[in-house]
């Protein structure tokens, strides 16, 4: 299978893991606040380790520190611009960006798209670069961290009055931003191999912004920092092992 097709399919699989993680809403199971914050911390830890071991270090190895720095800052800059200039809504937390007359569900979808774009991009760029083993470990890690995020999407929707079936559907659909970004990333580095270090570092910068701006603050919002930090450490360790053993 070509790197382009692999990147598209792998990012689709990682994105659909969001729906798998949301399945407990159908069983009317709701984790305790401590467990939920620990799960969010786990997702943050996986993303944090992937940012360094799967993206930044390979970017430096492929193009040197300066190209990696340029790509990294560009990734941060894009997410800052998207976060500030795109109207979107978090449950809870309220709206961000400019005001909009869009329905709440569409504003929420925009927020999740901004969140998921870097993850799909990272998978696509990794496969486009040709290191299949490293790309597979990254895909597994992204899929693992998408599962608690899927539940984090579905539960607030149920709280907003959506049926459990619709909450599961919307949570699954939010993962579809990832194959779009994954295909874009794979095409970029396949068509222009010199973009690989920039692409890897770009995805790392975008992911780091999401971790710091959204996931960690949300995991600490209810006062369960100890559980969130424990989850982060566990997620970091799991992703570090995945990258070392499978990459």
Domain that residue 237 falls in: 3-246
Structural contact between residues 171 and 155, judged by C-beta atoms closer than 8 angstroms: no
With 0-12 CB in 10 A as exposed, 13-18 as middle and 19+ as buried, what is 63? buried
Q: How many domains does the chain fold into?
A: 1
**DSSP class of 221:** T
As separate numbers, helices (DSSP H) first and strands (DSSP E) second, the chain gives: 10, 2
Q: Say what the pLDDT of residue 72 is.
A: 96
How does pLDDT run across 112-144, given as a tens digit for each residue? 788 888 888 899 898 888 788 888 889 999 999
Q: Say what percent of the chain tops pLDDT 90.
A: 43
* Residue 99 clears pLDDT 90, i.e. is over it: no
- Residue from 195, 225, 233 nearest 48 by CA: 233
Phi and psi for 157 in degrees, rounded to 5?
-65, -40
pTM for the full model? 0.89
d(CA 94, CA 151): 19
Q: Say what the pLDDT of residue 4 is.
A: 81
Structural contact between residues 75 and 118, judged by C-beta atoms closer than 8 angstroms: yes
How does pLDDT run across 176-185, given as a tens digit for each residue? 888 889 998 8
d(CA 204, CA 52): 7
Helix (H, G, I), strand (E, B) or coil at 90: strand
Can you name the residues that pair with 94 across neighbouring β-strands?
90
């Amino acid at each position: 299978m070509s790197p382009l097709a692999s990147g598209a399919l792998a990012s689709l699989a990682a994105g659909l893991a969001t729906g798998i993680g949301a399945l407990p809403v159908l069983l009317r199971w709701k984790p305790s606040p401590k467990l939920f914050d620990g799960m969010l911390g786990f997702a943050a830890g996986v993303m944090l380790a992937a940012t360094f071991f799967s993206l930044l270090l390979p970017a430096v190895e492929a193009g040197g520190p300066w190209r990696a720095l340029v790509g990294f800052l560009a990734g941060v800059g894009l997410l800052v611009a998207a976060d500030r200039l795109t109207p979107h809504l978090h449950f809870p937390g309220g709206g961000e960006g400019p005001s909009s007359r869009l329905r709440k569900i569409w504003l929420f979808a925009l927020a999740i798209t901004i969140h998921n774009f870097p993850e799909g991009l990272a998978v696509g760029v990794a496969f486009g670069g040709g290191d299949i083993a490293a790309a597979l470990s990254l895909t597994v890690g992204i899929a693992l961290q998408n599962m608690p995020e899927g539940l984090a999407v579905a539960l607030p929707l149920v709280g907003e009055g959506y049926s459990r079936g619709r909450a599961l559907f919307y949570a699954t659909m939010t993962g579809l931003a990832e194959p779009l970004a994954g295909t874009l990333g794979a095409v970029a580095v396949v068509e222009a191999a010199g973009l690989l270090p920039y692409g890897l570092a770009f995805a790392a910068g975008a992911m780091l912004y999401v971790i710091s701006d959204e996931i960690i603050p949300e995991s600490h919002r209810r006062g369960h920092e100890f559980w969130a930090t424990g989850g982060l450490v566990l997620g970091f360790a799991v992703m570090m092992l995945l990258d070392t053993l499978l990459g």
